[in-house]
Structure 1
Amino acid sequence: MKILLAEDEPISRMLMQRTLQQFGYDVVLAEDGRKAAEILSSEDGPRLALVDWMMPELDGPELCREVRQRQNERSYVYIIMLTSRQNSEDVVAGLESGADDYLVKPCAPAELQARLRTGMRILELEGKLVKAHEEMEYKATHDSLTGLNNRAAILDFAHKSLQRGAHQAKPTLLVLCDVDHFKHLNDTYGHPAGDAVLEEVARRLGTAVRGGDAVGRYGGEEFLIVIPGCDRAAVERRCEDIRKAVACVPVVAAGGELSVTMSVGAAIYEGKDDSALEPLLMQADAALYRAKAQGRNCIVVADLMAAL
């Protein structure tokens, strides 16, 4: 594990570096507080630090305060302050500046190693908490079967896209897709086959969109695609690309190849009302209904929605 050693006195720095290397740490050195702050703020900077109280540029407490101010920008840094000061007022000042622990110089190697192990345990715990939070956040915004945005997340993305489009005078395209004859597929081949079809359709839709677009499972066998800034002249081409991405190759499921197609309904909005999501969804849904009525496996684009 990497550890930052911030110490301006050369002999003390060399001796402490050797001790830390004997403990198995990869030691990164800083000769002043400003350099230490830059290292700790870098993308791959150490998350464990030993900093001297008295240093040029920034002293230990100032360094701690600066690191804590940037805390939201990166993972937590565990800081142990090194000093020859021993009175309680100094201990309190060091800890209140943002240090996690405090060691009086010269410190015994065994005590130093024990304090560092405590820091590592705390960092490991923080890592587990961050991972658990990310997993909870992912589950709250993604569909468990397909891994796509869930209904709430894709609608939130659509709403924000409309807001940006209204402010930047750029259109927003909604594409509503429905797997054709999905109930028959489920009834004939079973729900595992149906799930496999939905997973593969989701994967293909994901490859059919671009970086700034978003795909979500709208419900059941329906998917919603949000394409911000789509030029009106490109709407039919983008929708046709999406339809073809699903229909191009049979889906392998239930021990064989299943022909899967989608009906596609689309609606585009170029107005300035950022609350137009609900009527835009209604237009896309009506276009999807017409696509199904026209024989499925086709696209229907609603008339340009009038500016509200």
Structure 2
Amino acid sequence: MRVLIAEDEPVSRHMLEAFLTKWGYEVVVAGDGREAWQVLQQDDAPKLAILDWMMPGMEGVQVCQRLRERADHPYVYVLMLTSRDRKQDLVEGIEAGADDYLIKPFDAHELMAHLHAGKRILDVQQELISARDALRVQATHDPLTGLWNHAAIFDILRRELERAQRQRTSLGVVMADLDHFKQINDTYGHPAGDAVLREATRRLQSAVRTYDSIGRYGGEEFLVVVPGADEASALQQAERLRASISKAPIEVDQSSAIPLTISLGVTAPAEPEASNLESLLRAADLALYDAEGVADGPAVTARPTA
């Protein structure tokens, strides 16, 4: 774990550095408050900082105040060192945003105990952040395929349509449906169907651009949002998706390889500012219906947005 030591007094600074290095910490040293602030603004800034209260240029309490004014940066746990032992001074330090404090002089055991407490709090905080991020993923992603779920891809489409309307740029929408998927489930079983969906997802993801968005719209249906694409570009994207699916059978076990195709419907409004979500999705869905009705499919068809 990386720890910042900000202490202007050389003997104290070297003593702290020696203790922390001995205990296995990676130490970053600053000789005054301004240098400490520069370190804490870096992308890989230490998550734990030991700040002396009294330093030239910028006091430790001022560094702490600046840290707490930043809402968009990772939290830094601050252990304040001070010779002040008046209750009012300690209250001032805590109100400035310090998490803990040590009154000089202190011994190594005190310092170690306070560092361990800070590390425990940072570890718990990281666990909470990880749990929050996991919940966000669960709320927005399909558990089987890992794609955006229905609600999330719908929200992405809404935002992209609003952006296209503001900037007067084009927007393509592709609705896709794996052909004969019910037959695959009936013939090979649902575990095989799940394996087909996962492999189909992998192939589709390999065929989209980094700034396109793809979601599982429902069952074996997928929705692809293609920013900046007119109808011709969206059709080209849909053809790439079709080719990625049908390039080779999908092996579900050592004895079964399932040929797979996909039908796709495309729409791209000529005037996005005159369109809405319902008309976009209706046009893409009707185009998909046309594609599924082609006798010698699979097919890619387009419909204008009403």
* TM bucket normalised to smaller: over 0.9
Deviation at 1:286, TM superposition (A): 0.3
Deviates more, 1:234-243 or 1:83-92: 234-243
Q: Which amino acid aligns with 2:259?
A: S
Deviations 1:147-201 (A, max 9, x none): 0000001011000000111111111111000000111111111101111111111
| Partner SS state of residue 73, structure 1 | coil
CA-CA distance at 1:108 after TM superposition: 1.2
Per the alignment, residue 302 of structure 2 pairs with 301
Q: Distance in 1 between matches of 2:106 and 2:15?
A: 12
How far apart, in 2, do the equivalents of 1:129 and 1:236 lie? 44
What are the Cα deviations for residues 229-252 of structure 1, in whole angstroms up to 9, with x where unaligned?
Answer: 113332221111111110111111
| Greater CA drift, 39-48 or 278-287 | 39-48
Secondary structure of 1:147 counterpart: coil
1:129 maps to 2:110: no
Query: Aligned partners of 1:119, 1:103: CA distance in 2, in Å?
Result: 12
The alpha-carbon deviation at position 275 of structure 1 amounts to 6.3
Letter in 2 for 1:297: P
How high is the sequence identity, in percent, across the aligned residues? Answer: 45
Q: Is the 8 A contact 2:231 2:267 kept in 1?
A: no
Decide whether aligned partners of structure 1 residues 180 and 132 sit closer, same or farther in structure 2, where only a CA change above 3 A counts: same
Equivalent in the alignment of 2:157:
158
Q: Secondary structure at the match of 1:72?
A: coil
Q: Which residue of 2 aligns with 1:111?
A: 110
Q: How far apart are 1:253 and its partner, in Å?
A: 1.2
Structure 2 match to 1:282: 282
Structure 1: gaps of 5 or more residues: none
Q: CA RMSD in A?
A: 1.3
Task: Give, as a single letter, the amino acid of the residue that structure 2 aligns with 1:37.
Answer: W
Q: Which amino acid aligns with 1:79?
A: V
Match of 2:170 in 1: 171
> Cα 1:270–1:32, aligned 2, differ >3 Å: closer, same or farther?
farther
Mapped partners of 1:294, 1:71: distance in 2: 55
Tell me whether 1:84 sits opposite 2:83 in the alignment.
yes
| Distance (whole Å) between structure 1 residues aligned to residue 28 and residue 167 of structure 2 | 46
Contact 1:170 1:270 in 2 (8 A): no
Structure 1's consecutive aligned runs of 4 or more residues displaced over 6 angstroms after TM superposition are none
Rounded to whole Å, the distance in 2 between the matches of 1:72 and 1:27 is 24
1:239 lines up with 2:213 in the alignment: no
Residue 263 (structure 1) aligns with:
263
C-alpha distance in structure 2 between counterparts of 1:220 and 1:82, whole Å: 60
Separation of aligned partners in 1, 2:114 and 2:35 = 24
Aligned residues: 304
For residues 1-308 of structure 1, the aligned pairs below 5 Å read: 1-74=1-74, 76-254=75-253, 255-273=255-273, 276-295=276-295, 296-303=297-304, 305=305
CA deviation profile, 1:106-139 (whole Å, cap 9, x unmatched): 1111011000000000010001100000100000
**Secondary structure at 2:235 match in 1:** helix
TM-score normalised per structure 1? 0.96
SS at match of 2:273: coil
Distance 1:184 1:272 in 2: 38
Separation of aligned partners in 2, 1:260 and 1:19:
64
Match of 1:42, SS?
A: coil
More off after superposition, 156-165 vs 223-232 = 223-232
Structure 2 distance, partners of 1:138, 1:236, is: 30
Instruction: Kindly indicate whether the alpha-carbon contact (under 8 Å) linking 2:231 and 2:266 is maintained by their aligned counterparts in 1.
Output: no
Unaligned runs of 5+ in 2: none
